[in-house]
Structure 1
Amino acid sequence: MNTESLLRDLREELDDGGLRGSFLVRDLHTGQEIGLDADLEFPSASLVKVPLAAATLERIRRGELDGATQLEVEPGRVTTAGPAGLARFRHPARVAIDDLLYLSVAVSDGTAADALFELTPPAEVTRMLREWGIDGVSVRHATAELADTPAERFEPGEVHLAHALAIRAGTAGRGHPVSQLDVSRASAGSARAYVALLEALWRPSEVDAEVAARTRDLMAHNLLRQRLTPDFGSDATKWSSKTGTLLNLRHEVGVAEHADGQVFAVAALTESRVPAAIQPEAEILMARVARTMRDHLRSR
């Protein structure tokens, strides 16, 4: 099947499953790529923890921070479903910066991430991305805002109402009354922008080699593996990634390193028009689309 026909079929498959997305797969050796609405911007949700980690590691490299420094972190005391790590702690904890990096990326711990954002604010993370030549990813707020959406204001049995609001209230220009879903106010990026970040971390770039290597290692230990991992991880493939989830948004970006030496950067950013919090079918569909695109590119 030619690329045009494949993309048409995949777009129809996503639409039938209630999804719209921005997808891009790039061969990091040849530069060849295949994309589906790859320049469409989405709010990034927890994907911002990757540039946050890289920026923090760069400041450690410069000597501005010490990874062994222990910070007093207030407990998140979160009671809603979803957040993990320090966000669910009931008591203050002392945690080293290096360990906050692990919790932020591998466990997607928002409380750990916000402790790091206090050291390196969102605007500074964005400035460092621009220094590295990464223009399409913008970091605009801490992660605490991701736990302050309409979903937290409804009873558990009514969460679908928050998803209905998220789906129906957006504008054609990607604006939204829920600020975390408005690409002009929220941290945001496209599949192409996140693949550019991945390429900067996996290939020689303006990002320091040690900083890039440590960021890759954090992503390799990602514990949230229900989304793209089933279609990309195997005994013959190392899959390193980060997920992002917010209301009707489900994202994952990562790199597949195959035993035969091929390396592919993958970004799958999606929004659902199905008003439900738990959608395993959406996870399966977005992974299948990304895998099909990778397989098509690999076959070439």
Structure 2
Amino acid sequence: MNPETLLPRLRAELDDGGLRGSFLVRDLRTGTEIGIDPELEFPSASLVKIPLATATLERIHRGELDGSAPIDVQPGRATMPGPTGLTRFRHPARVAVDDLLYLTMAISDETAADTLFALTPPAEVTRMTRAWGVSGITARHPVAELSDTPAERFDPADVHLAHALAINAGTAGQGHPVPQLDITRASSGSARAFVDLLEALWKPSKVDEEVAARVRELMGLNLLRQRLSPDFVSDATKWSSKTGTVLNMRHEVGVVEHADGGIFAIAALTASRVPAAIQPEAEVLMARVARELRDHLRV
């Protein structure tokens, strides 16, 4: 289908589904790409864990950190739905840096990620990301703040009010009274920026190949697969990804590798204007749009 026909139709479908988004699909063999507002910046939520993991592994590679070193981690003691792993632990634990990386990427464990951020602060992660030639991704704060939003202050029956605030209180310049949604205060990035990072991890780049290979492995172990995965996983593909969620923001970025040699980097960053915490139909829609963009390049 001609892009002049495809893109307006997909934009209309997103709008009908209550979504706006930043999408980009790039053929990593040819560099050909297609997207919808790929430069539009969003709060990145847990997508920031990809550059965090890469930076941590780079420092291990340099000998600045020891991946086998055990770290005493205080329990998160989270009780609200959502957080996983150490974030829900009730008692202190001792975990090696390598295993914190696994927890951070496979189950998006916030306590594990913030233990890594204590070793490599957000400003340093940003600096290292720029050094790899990837601009447009900024780490600004620990990820535990993603579970300290207005949604956690409402009873479950009233959580839609937090989503209504998230939807209606933003400014035209993407400022927001909720700091996790303000792109000048939150960790942020665009679909293009994250696809650039994926390309740096899947193709030869300034990222050391051993480091990139381990990040690819960790992304392949991601267990949160309710968004784009259903449209890209099959016996003839390998899907490696990371999700990100905060209030009405739902993201996923990843790479699909086909048995025929095709390889595509995909980023889908979305914001919903539907005031509901659980929206499986939004995830189905964002996956369908991402797949149609991929299909357009694959023909």
Q: TM-score range by the shorter chain?
A: over 0.9
Unmatched 5+ residue regions in structure 2?
A: none
Asked if 1:177 corresponds to 2:174, the answer is no
Q: Which residue does 2:21 correspond to in 1?
A: 21
* Aligned 1:27-66 pairs, distance under 5 A: 27-66=27-66
* Aligned 1:201-280 pairs, distance under 5 A: 201-280=201-280
Give the letter for the 1:138 counterpart.
Answer: T
Distance across 1 between alignment mates of 2:105 and 2:187: 16
TM-score, structure 1 length as denominator?
A: 0.99
Q: Which residue does 1:141 correspond to in 2?
A: 141
- After superposition, the C-alpha distances for 1:126-181 in whole angstroms (9 at most, x for unaligned) are 00001101111000001011111000111111100000000000000010000110
Distance across 1 between alignment mates of 2:124 and 2:190: 20
Unmatched 5+ residue regions in structure 1?
A: none
Aligned length: 299
Give the letter for the 1:160 counterpart.
Answer: H
**Identical pairs, percent:** 76
Q: Which residue does 1:159 correspond to in 2?
A: 159
- After superposition, the C-alpha distances for 1:194-223 in whole angstroms (9 at most, x for unaligned) are 000000000000000000000000000000
Q: Which residue does 1:195 correspond to in 2?
A: 195
Asked if 1:121 corresponds to 2:132, the answer is no
CA RMSD of aligned residues (A): 0.4
Distance across 2 between alignment mates of 1:75 and 1:184: 30
Give the letter for the 1:230 counterpart.
Answer: P
Distance across 2 between alignment mates of 1:268 and 1:131: 24
* Deviation >2 Å, runs of 4+: none
SS of corresponding position for 1:269: strand
Q: Which residue does 2:107 correspond to in 1?
A: 107
- After superposition, the C-alpha distances for 1:58-110 in whole angstroms (9 at most, x for unaligned) are 00000000000000000100011101000010000000000000000011000
SS of corresponding position for 2:59: helix
1:265: how far off?
0.0
